[in-house]
Structure 1
Amino acid sequence: MRVVMLGYQTWGHRTLQALLDSGHEVVLAVTHPRSDHAYEKIWNDSVADLARDHGVPVLLRNRPDDDLLLALKEAEPDLIVANNWRTWIPPEILALPRHGILNVHDSLLPAYAGFSPLIWALINGEDEVGVTAHMMNADLDAGDIVVQRAIPVGPHDTATDLFHRTVDLIAPIVTEALGLIASGRTDWTPQDRTRASFFHKRSVEDGDIDWTWTAEEIERLVRAQSDPYPNAFTHYRGERVRVLKASVSQGVYGGTPGRVFIREGDGIVIVAGAEARRGRSRGLVIERIRTEDGTDLPATEFFKTMGGYLTRRP
């Protein structure tokens, strides 16, 4: 098959590599220009560089335009494969390749369509995540499923752990999907749209800790914002403090959410949860922090005295 690839960052890079290794003819690669967005500077292996290294023509586009449509028509693809293409694809492009467009998305669709699915899934306490290859239609991440693979989420997994494990699924999933499509199969599995959910892009502000969340929820947020992602953060006495490592307390602590309360084990307990005033909530044990100047410290060295509050604003 003649294949065009639309993609960006490491997800797109892994997809293009799988296409190059597949034996099919990759006739064009389309990718976004590099961005200064905090999340788009992470996992940013270059699709353009990989394509050029293999003699594949490259187009840089932020969104589809008339020039891209013309280039796609001239490429005469049998199939377009997309992964981490960040903008809407118009109907005239959807209808262009005879086999359609195969999209690769790092969630178990129909859940977690949209952006940053691994981070949102970890925050929400999902017990598995995965990767789905599906045929695109007019609705974002809503087309029939061709191949889907899941991996379990462990109790200490970070978003970084899940990234590495799911990105390794891309090549085998793309290879399997290409084989099925090339064989003439079209009997794909429709998504159950009653189970669909759609999430927006993460921004730095989404890591601002809300101390009315339960300790369990905040602990997952900390793991979801692991390095190299922008870390979960809070403010203490006017200074932004990034939380690098935390756990749920053994003890039950009452009071006002955000209160710097007591030492437990290797960390400092912060009162957490909307019901904390009833004295029935676990606290969050902060174990390691990063100051605004980039210094990493044990929490016991940073919080030298008990008392005071962690807040969402300086």
Structure 2
Amino acid sequence: MRNKITLLLLTQKGYEVLKALIADVPDVIHSVISAADPTVVKDFHDDIKKLCDHSGITFSNRTGRRTIDTEYAMAISWRWLIDARSTSLIVLHDSLLPKYRGFNPLVTALINGDDRIGVTAFYANDEYDRGDVIAQAETRVTYPMPIQKAIELVTENYKELALRIAKAIANGDRPSSYKQDEKQATYSLWRDEEDYAIDWHLSSDSIRRFIDAVGFPYKGASTTMDGRKMRILSAEAVDDVAIVNRSPGKLIFFQHGKPVIVCGNGLLRINEIIDDQTKSSLLPLPRLRVRFK
């Protein structure tokens, strides 16, 4: 089907792009496919479905539909393989390719303290995230930068690119593209529950960025105390002191009633920490002799 797009959407970014397309170029949308994603607290699957139902757009779940019969498909935040043999598949990716090919690139960029984040639209091929680039949009950032704020920023990049591409397709134009520079390519690995764990041997600034980068809509940075898993949702680096027997992970003192933890370099004050199971606050901590692992 010419001049039409099948959308494969997930997360807030997919939802906001769908809203923007409906408002500006609704006729280019043929149908929407979405899926539930248990790896995040909120996947926007239900929001996407409700918006499709309200707008009269055909909606289907990933498990219930396999065939894409439009000239183009566009994938946003999609985590599964797509059979694109009969369509031109355009992927919008959370990085400025060829940097951070792979998984969770926005999280990786924030952990690394990058001063630019952004989105790349490219034609998918047989090797993931190596296709020809259609366009990029970027945003400069400063820290601290919570992941939710970063998502809101790159969502604007997503909308900008999606609208530009959709308008071209609606006009019967194939979006032009160019090759990636393989010499500049880097990769970001997939993350699972183990990757939420804080490494207290890192600097306090690095740990602060990590906590901010894996917060809501993700599960939150984890640590353990006496074998009990907990999530640190908010923290900030504070001035270091001279510790002659430095031991990362130990509580050194309380500041404004909040525990201050020794890091590999620097100190970190924990402002919000919850039990992983009950989600209840664990502040104030019951004692001074605490070691996080």
TM-score (norm 1): 0.80
Aligned residue among 10, 32, 50 for 1:29: 32
Provide the rounded CA distance (Å) in 2 between the counterparts of 1:7 and 1:130.
18
1:309 equivalent to 2:291? Answer yes
Residue in 1 that maps onto 2:207: 218
Matches within 5 A, 1:127-138: 127-138=115-126
Stretches of 4+ aligned residues off by more than 6 angstroms: none
RMSD after superposition: 2.6
Deviation, 1:264, is 4.7
Residue in 1 that maps onto 2:252: 261
Provide the rounded CA distance (Å) in 2 between the counterparts of 1:23 and 1:49.
16
Cα pair 2:41 2:219 within 8 Å, conserved: no
Aligned residue among 242, 247, 250 for 2:236: 247
Cα pair 2:34 2:48 within 8 Å, conserved: yes
Aligned residue among 109, 113, 116 for 1:121: 109
Residue type at the aligned position of 2:58: P
What secondary structure does 1:251 align onto? coil
Residue type at the aligned position of 1:161: K
User: 109-118 or 195-204: which moved more?
Assistant: 195-204
Matches within 5 A, 1:1-314: 1-20=3-22, 21-32=24-35, 34-35=36-37, 37-39=38-40, 41-62=42-63, 68-69=66-67, 72-73=68-69, 77-90=70-83, 93-94=84-85, 96-97=86-87, 100-181=88-169, 182=171, 184=173, 187-254=176-243, 255-264=246-255, 267-273=258-264, 281-292=265-276, 293-296=278-281, 301-302=284-285, 304-305=287-288, 307-311=289-293
Residue type at the aligned position of 2:34: T
Provide the rounded CA distance (Å) in 2 between the counterparts of 1:203 and 1:18.
32
Unaligned runs of 5+ in 1: 274-280
Deviation, 1:199, is 2.7
Q: What does the per-residue CA deviation read over 1:16-71, in whole Å, with 9 as the maximum and x for residues that have no partner?
A: 33333315432222222x24x231634445333322332222332249xxx623xx
What secondary structure does 1:46 align onto? helix
Q: 1:198 to 1:122 in 2, by over 3 A?
A: same
Q: What does the per-residue CA deviation read over 1:135-185, in whole Å, with 9 as the maximum and x for residues that have no partner?
A: 222221222222211112221110011011212332221111233454635
Residue in 2 that maps onto 1:277: none
Q: What does the per-residue CA deviation read over 1:273-303, in whole Å, with 9 as the maximum and x for residues that have no partner?
A: 2xxxxxxx312222332234333365xx325
Cα pair 2:28 2:166 within 8 Å, conserved: no
TM-score (norm 2): 0.85
What secondary structure does 2:266 align onto? strand
What secondary structure does 1:302 align onto? coil
Percentage of identical aligned residues: 26
Provide the rounded CA distance (Å) in 1 between the counterparts of 2:241 and 2:63.
50
Q: 1:24 to 1:242 in 2, by over 3 A?
A: same
Cα pair 1:245 1:287 within 8 Å, conserved: yes
Deviation, 1:242, is 2.1
What secondary structure does 1:39 align onto? coil
Unaligned runs of 5+ in 2: none
User: 161-170 or 191-200: which moved more?
Assistant: 191-200
